[in-house]
């Protein structure tokens, strides 16, 4: 029997399995000849076919992401756009200064600090059509914030 080359176009499970069986029959006829589905040898052969099938699918998927007409992931399309010289700005956070005013009752000759509120971090305020969120608690009983900014 003449030696045949391996068919590298077998890319799905059934084709890879058939190619592996042909290869074993051709190159190892004395070592393995039990091609029953329940045999350990066939289990190993089918595991190899499954790995080959998964590699083919993943290779095809990765190649697909390099084609502008077929790419599905946002990062792939943005990467190709940047390759063609398109400038794509990223998201930029908005920052603002907000003045919170609190009216406290008087205790003697000063205000009663026990009524001072705490505005929790994550509280949201809106202005100019935008929503802003506090990043830390604002405790009016303390003269400074955690970051050292005066209250």
Ordered alpha helix ranges (H), the chain: 13-27, 40-64, 74-83
Helix axis angle, 40-64 to 13-27, nearest 10°: 130
| Domain regions of the chain by residue span | 13-83, 93-151
Locate 104 and state its tokens: 């406290």
Q: 0.85 exceeded by the pTM?
A: no
The 3-state DSSP class for residue 79 equals helix
Residue 2: predicted pLDDT: 57
User: Which residues of the chain, if any, have pLDDT below 70?
Assistant: 1-4, 151
Percentage of residues in the chain with pLDDT exceeding 90? Answer: 42
Locate 76 and state its tokens: 């792939």
């Amino acid at each position: 029997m003449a030696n045949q080359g391996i068919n590298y176009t077998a890319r799905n499970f059934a084709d890879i399995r058939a190619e592996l069986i042909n290869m074993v029959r051709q190159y190892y006829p004395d070592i393995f000849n039990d091609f029953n589905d329940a045999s350990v040898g066939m289990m190993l052969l089918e595991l190899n076919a499954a790995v080959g099938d998964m590699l083919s699918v993943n290779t095809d998927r990765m190649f697909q992401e390099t084609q502008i007409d077929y790419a599905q992931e946002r990062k792939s399309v943005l990467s190709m756009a940047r390759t063609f010289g398109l400038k794509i700005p990223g998201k930029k956070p908005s920052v603002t200064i907000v003045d919170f005013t609190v009216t406290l009752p008087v205790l003697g000759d000063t205000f009663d600090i026990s009524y001072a509120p705490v505005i929790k971090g994550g509280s949201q305020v809106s202005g100019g059509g935008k929503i802003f969120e506090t990043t830390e608690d604002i405790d009016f009983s303390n003269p400074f914030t955690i970051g050292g900014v005066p209250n």
